[in-house]
Structure 1
Amino acid sequence: MAHPNLTLIGALRQAAQNLREGAHYAWGHHGSCNCGHVLQTVTHLSKEEILKHAHTGIGEWTEIAEEYCGVTNAPAYMLISRLEAIGLTPPDIHHLEYLNNKEVLQRLPGGFRWLKKNVREDVVVYFETYAAWLEERLLNYIEIPKPEEAVPVFA
Structure 2
Amino acid sequence: MAHANPELIQALRRTAQKLSSGNPYQWGHMGSCNCGNLAQELTQLSKAQIHEFAMQGRGDWREQVEEFCPTSGLPMDLLIADMLNHGLTTSDLQNLERLSDKKVLARIPLERRDKMRHNYRDDVMLYLNEWADQLEEELLPNIKLDLSFMNEEKVETKLVAI
The answer, yes or no, to whether TM exceeds 0.5 is yes
Q: Is the CA contact 2:11–2:42 (under 8 Å) kept in the aligned structure 1?
A: yes
The one-letter amino acid paired with 1:139 is L
| Distance in 2 between residues matched to 1:83 and 1:66, nearest whole Å | 15
Q: Tell me how far apart the structure 2 counterparts of residues 78 and 49 of structure 1 sit (CA, whole Å).
A: 13
Equivalent-residue separation in structure 1 for 2:151 and 2:42 (angstroms):
36
For this pair of structures, how many residues does the alignment match?
151
Residue aligning to 1:34: 34
Q: Matches of 1:48 and 1:37 in 2, distance apart?
A: 11
- Specify the alignment match of 2:144 in structure 1: 143
Fraction of identical pairs, as percent: 42
- The equivalent residue for 2:72 is 72
Q: Over residues 92-130 of structure 1, what are the superposed CA-to-partner deviations in whole Å (9 max), with x where a residue is unaligned?
A: 11111100111001112x347242110000000000000
RMSD across aligned C-alpha pairs, in angstroms?
1.9
C-alpha separation between the residues in 2 aligned to 1:153 and 1:75? 53
Deviating 4+ runs (over 4 angstroms):
151-155
Structure 2 partner of 1:92: 92
Q: What residue ranges of structure 1 are gaps of 5+ in the alignment? A: none
CA distance in 1 between counterparts of 2:150 and 2:126 reads 42
What letter matches 1:123 in structure 2? V
| Structure having the higher Rg | 2
2:43–2:83 Cα contact (<8 Å) kept: no
Q: Where in structure 2 are the equivalents of 1:5-154 lying within 5 Å?
A: 5-108=5-108, 110-111=109-110, 113-114=113-114, 115-144=116-145, 150=148
**How far has the Cα of 1:153 moved from its partner?**
8.6
For structure 2, list consecutive stretches of 5 or more residues without a partner in the other structure: 154-162
Secondary structure of the structure 2 residue equivalent to 1:129:
helix
Compute the TM-score of the two structures, normalised by the length of structure 1.
Answer: 0.89
TM-score by length of structure 2 reads 0.86
Deviation at 1:75, TM superposition (A): 0.2
Q: Cα offset for 1:140?
A: 2.1
Residues 57, 77 of structure 1: 8 Å contact kept: no
